[in-house]
Amino acid sequence: MDKKALSSREIMTIGLMLFALFLGAGNMIFPPFLGQQAGQNVWVGISGFLITGVGLPLLGVIAIARTGGDLQTLSSRVHPLFGLIFTTVMYLAIGPFFGIPRTGTVSFEIGVMPFLPTDIAANGWPLFIFSLIFFALTAWLSMNPSKLVDRIGKFLTPALIIILAVLVIKSFITPMGKPMLPQGPYKNGPFFKGFIDGYLTMDTIAALVFGIVVISSVKEKGITNKSVLTRTCITAGLIAAAGLALVYLSLAFIGATSTSAIGSQDNGGALLSAAASYLYGAGGTIILGLAITFACITTSVGLVSSCAKFFTKIVPSISYSKYVIIFSVFSMIISNIGLTQLINVSLPVLIVVYPLAIVLIILSFLHNKFHGYRAVYIGALIPTGVVSLIDGLKTAHVDVSSITEALSGLPLFNEGIGWIIPALAGAIVGYIIAVQLGQVRNSVNTTH
């Protein structure tokens, strides 16, 4: 039966589910490391981080809700073939090839490995056994999507929040120390450095992928009216964003006050482990392990469910349940190559794809302003793709020095976001061409 609106409790449950899906282990690792590096400039740095680590993902959820509920609808505004290819690449990249396997590997390396003897931890069997259990649980939770909201929103998310709260409250009551002098780029440009670090969380891609899960969850509760559906998704997105912001601020505080107690750490994972041990002893490491495991399992479930839903639509001859099994098994196999190798392989790909996703989101909010002209989308995305491809090749250690020297004059190019000005210029050129040629307005979702 159709419902006119969801109750506040139902919306809160969906918002908490989205919050848990975003709060992957990578997200927990970045803020404390930012805090330690920024030191006395922590609040300026984290404010920049929140714009790209929380603001852009929120816009991504809203963009998907406004455009009809999936990434393909949004990206098809460029061209139907681009929509299919781009969406497929996005799902595969953040899904079974990189994102899903990484949830299992991170859970093992932070939540399990500290408790194993060194000789046993170096053996491949513990990771294999853990990944087998981890992805079997992922498959079970993903198998029935109608229960996804209840399982994550009502049980896993509150448990995750409680575990994090135990660690954070202790750090506020008995701080490990005082913020030290800022290091590196955080000395002179803390806001901009934080802005870039938030960009590297890749949560904007996750928002576009998780959008279909949120839309489906709202529809399954009886909401069919498009405007009500959109408002509900926006409210759920705001709840998730508020939760993320609170967690990020708290973790940044832990990092900022940690240096005198645990020394400078090489990464956020090592920092959190050391901080948890300092605050709670051996029990702190267990608390952190549980938090990481809950964060990773919820993200893994969300990604498997999203990918299965998408590929069921593309190739309906294979059922949703079979896709869940395929992605879970494949991810388990890939996860066994190790976290470092996964990051090294995935980062160049994500650096190429991420700017395209950002441009698509921004254009979706301006869609009616430029009359939905397809040339605007094409004009903005081509230079974005070219610059981000060069950044990706550079990250993959391919020699493109002759090209990078030629592009070094672009604003923000050395910071990794040199695509911004070319995207803007390309959009303007596309608009002028569309007007001059009298291009027909893009008919895809021009109502928003």
| Residue 266 pLDDT > 80 | no
Higher pLDDT: 349 or 31? It is 31
Listed ranges 24-33, 75-84, 164-173, 412-421; the one with the highest mean pLDDT? 75-84
Distance of CA 9 to the CA centre of its chain: 25
**Mean of pLDDT values over 261-280:** 83
Q: Which two tokens stand for residue 352?
A: 């190429």
pLDDT digit string, tens, across residues 30-78: 899 899 999 999 999 999 999 988 999 999 988 988 887 678 889 999 9
Q: What confidence category does residue 446 fall into, taking pLDDT thresholds of 50, 70 and 90? A: very low
Q: For residue 145, what pLDDT is reported?
A: 59
Short-list 442, 381, 386, CA closest to 82: 381
| Residue 444 pLDDT > 60 | no
Q: What confidence category does residue 440 fall into, taking pLDDT thresholds of 50, 70 and 90? A: low
CA distances 381 to 79, 222, 299, 370, Å, are 11, 37, 29, 15
| Residue 24 pLDDT > 90 | no
What integer best gives the mean pLDDT of the chain?
85
Give domain limits for the chain.
8-340, 367-447
SS3 breakdown of the chain: % helix, strand, coil, rounded to 5? 80, 0, 20
Q: How far is the C-alpha of 373 from the C-alpha of 440, rounded, in Å?
A: 7
**Mean of pLDDT values over 338-346:** 75
Q: How far is the C-alpha of 189 from the C-alpha of 181, rounded, in Å?
A: 14
| Residue 312 pLDDT > 80 | yes
Q: For residue 37, what pLDDT is reported?
A: 93
| Residue 121 pLDDT > 70 | no
Q: For residue 218, what pLDDT is reported?
A: 82
pTM of the model: 0.82
Yes or no: say if 90 and 78 are a contact pair by the CB < 8 Å rule: no
Q: For residue 146, what pLDDT is reported?
A: 59
Q: How far is the C-alpha of 421 from the C-alpha of 399, rounded, in Å?
A: 24
Q: For residue 441, what pLDDT is reported?
A: 56
Q: How far is the C-alpha of 92 from the C-alpha of 424, rounded, in Å?
A: 28
8-340: what fold? Hydantoin permease (1.10.4160)
Higher pLDDT: 200 or 61? It is 61
pLDDT digit string, tens, across residues 201-216: 778 888 888 777 788 7
Q: Which bin fits 445, alpha (ψ -120 to 50), beta or left (φ > 0)?
A: left
Q: What confidence category does residue 445 fall into, taking pLDDT thresholds of 50, 70 and 90? A: very low
Short-list 217, 207, 168, 202, CA closest to 35: 168
Q: What confidence category does residue 363 fall into, taking pLDDT thresholds of 50, 70 and 90? A: very high
**Mean of pLDDT values over 416-441:** 87
Q: Which two tokens stand for residue 196?
A: 């870039």
Q: What confidence category does residue 447 fall into, taking pLDDT thresholds of 50, 70 and 90? A: very low
Q: How far is the C-alpha of 104 from the C-alpha of 331, rounded, in Å?
A: 8
Q: Which two tokens stand for residue 183?
A: 């290091």
SS3 label, residue 315:
coil
CA distances 163 to 52, 244, 444, Å, are 25, 15, 44
Q: Where are the alpha helices (DSSP H) in 257-373?
A: 259-262, 268-280, 282-314, 320-335, 339-365
Q: How far is the C-alpha of 298 from the C-alpha of 18, rounded, in Å?
A: 9
Q: What confidence category does residue 448 fall into, taking pLDDT thresholds of 50, 70 and 90? A: very low
**Mean of pLDDT values over 66-92:** 88
Higher pLDDT: 188 or 304? It is 304
Listed ranges 78-82, 192-196, 233-237; the one with the highest mean pLDDT? 78-82
Q: For residue 83, what pLDDT is reported?
A: 92
Residue identified by tokens 């009809």 is 68
